[in-house]
Amino acid sequence: MNEIGLKCVSCQSEWPIEQHYECPACGGILEVSYKVEGSGGKEFSPFLPLDKQELISLGEGMTSLIPSQRIAKEIGLEHLSFKCEFMNPTGSFKDRPVSIGISMAKKFGYKRVIVASSGNGAGSVSAYAARAGMEAVILVPESTPIEKVRQAQFYGASVIKVPGPYSHCFSLAKETGEKLQMCNLTTTFLNPYTVEGDKTVAYELINQLEGKVPDIIFIPIGAGPLLAGIYKGYEEYNQFQSTNRMPRMAGIQAEGCNPIARAFLEERNEVQSVAHPHTLAGGIGDGLDGYAKDGTHTLTLIRQSKGFSLAVTDEEILQAQSWLAQYEGLFVEPSAAAALAGLITSVKEGRMKKTERAVVVLTGHGLKDMSCLKAKEPPVISTVDEVATFLKKKEDKKWQDSVLPK
């Protein structure tokens, strides 16, 4: 690798590695660009915008890829695996982009960072700022789950609740960061360096699948930087290896906040924002109000990959969350479960073949959002006979409420 810089996805203008949040020429989205001499070779070295010794890390990445034991059989799929991003240090995939973003912020000389977050980014930025010895200011919607708020507070960050939807946090963080000279680590497409962390998911999948490329990858999306990052990772690998195998990208949204999915289904080229999102999957409840261009960029990549976007109901999300726990032993938050709900819908609607190799990216841990869990108070029992009676009743029920669709 000889050269590295920033490149606008709209006007294609190029800029040096500095802290820009949009293209100085046209206001478009910036991404990190690498110019490589030659291609091919036996080993692929991941492209990142900084040296390993500059990286602020808590051991993020290298999350498990777990083959489905039961769900795949129930719905008739031959190849289904779960990429367990909830196994990252703070419990979500956000640790990947935040690690790169905060490392670049420190490299550029910032002392304070700010983030607009629906919760997972809040915990991640707070943790990595503590690790880096930097001050963190966290803006979250009032509706953010208390588990995520307390996690961020415990790392020592200054947490502020903002009335209204996530987009209000986005606007306030952008304005505050500019006026008070804080590095903005909001993990949409605002900061070009954070997406570089997202793409490491692709590098790991390449190794974990021993070079086999999934036919389709299901990803829960708000603005879509994780989807864009994974796709970028495969593009860079293919450039190096001179191959043409790319996965189809499936961006899954909640029905109550589906600007990208709606644009895809209506065959529009531009995404329109949703002013008042309403979904229990807060992690993907981003209406893109004021920055719909982020959604348009993700929509373009989905179509480029020959993939698709669709929306699932809150009921389908909660059911998928239950199936993951009871059939696979994987406890994830609703936003993560949306990806599985999208896969099941895709199978039913014929959007994918049952012989295709599918990967579902599970983005956040279930302990991050406990508000939607439905569980009865456990009984207080003191004798063997009472235990036997309790187990007999449970066996008779046979978990009828959790049967997967055929």
Contact 63, 204 (CB under 8 A): yes
Residue from 285, 282, 232, 281 nearest 257 by CA: 285
**Chain centroid to CA 340:** 13
DSSP type of residue 148: H
Tokens of 132: 């880096």
- Let me know if residue 22 belongs to a domain: no
Boundary (domain end) residue, out of 134, 152, 184: 184
Q: Are residues 72 and 164 in the same domain?
A: no
Write the CA distances from 290 to 170, 171, 344, 369, 383, integer angstroms.
9, 8, 32, 27, 61
Domain count, the chain: 2
- Please indicate, yes or no, whether residues 84 and 99 belong to a single structural domain of this protein: no
User: What pLDDT shows up at residue 41?
Assistant: 45
- What is the C-alpha separation between 108 and 105, in angstroms, rounded? 5
The tokens for 255 are 């029905």
* Final residue belonging to a domain, choices 184, 209, 232: 184
Question: Is 404's pLDDT higher than 80?
Answer: no
Claim to verify: residue 117 and residue 220 sit in the same structural domain: no
Would you say residue 344 has pLDDT above 50? yes
Residues 272 and 139 in one domain: no
In a domain, 42, yes or no: no
| Range of weakest confidence among 43-47, 151-155, 233-237, 327-331 | 43-47
Read off the pLDDT of residues 222-255 as tens digits, 9 standing for 90 and up. 999 999 999 999 999 888 776 678 999 999 999 9
Tokens 């953010």 belong to which residue? 144
Closest CA to 319 of 334, 306, 303: 334
Q: What predicted TM-score, i.e. pTM, was given to this entire model?
A: 0.94
Q: Judge whether 292 and 223 are in contact, CB under 8 Å.
A: no
Range list of H helices, 165-256: 166-180, 195-198, 200-208, 225-241
Q: What is the pLDDT of residue 329?
A: 97
Is the domain of 238 the same as that of 361?
yes
CA distance 341 to 318: 9
**Confidence class of residue 399 from pLDDT cuts 50, 70 and 90?**
very low
Is 82 in a helix, a strand, or coil? strand
Do residues 315 and 173 both lie within one domain?
no
250 and 339 assigned to the same domain = yes
Q: Residue 75 contacts by C-beta under 8 Å, 6 or more apart in sequence?
A: 344, 347, 354, 404, 405, 406
Max intra-chain CA distance, the chain: 76
Within a 13 Å sphere around the CA of 349, how many CA atoms are in the beta-carbon half? 12
Together in a domain, 310 and 354: yes
Region of poorest pLDDT, from 36-50, 128-142, 155-169: 36-50
Tell whether the model's pLDDT for residue 403 goes beyond 80.
no
Q: Given 150, 184, 218, which residue is the final one in a domain?
A: 184
Is residue 331 one of the residues assigned to a domain?
yes
Averaged over 345-354, what is the pLDDT?
Answer: 95
Q: Which domain holds residue 129?
A: 95-184
Residues 222 and 308 in one domain: yes
Residue 17 lies in a domain: no
* Pair 91, 366: CB distance under 8 Å: no
* The pLDDT of residue 40 is above 90: no
pLDDT in tens, 268-303: 999 999 999 999 999 999 999 999 999 999 999 999
Same domain membership, residue 69 and residue 103: no
Residue 399 tokens read as 């978990």
% of residues, the chain, pLDDT over 90: 86
Query: Is 211 in the same domain as 261?
Result: yes
Same domain, 72 and 138: no
Residue 1 lies in a domain: no
Report which of 336, 340, 300, 305 is spatially closest to residue 215, judged by C-alpha positions: 305
Question: Does 364 reside within a domain?
Answer: yes
Tell me, what CATH number does 101's domain have? Answer: 3.40.50.1100
Q: Is residue 85 part of a domain?
A: yes
Which pLDDT tens digit goes with each residue over 126-138? 999 999 999 999 9
65-67 and 30-35 as β-strands: parallel, antiparallel, unpaired? unpaired
Q: Does residue 376 form part of some domain?
A: no
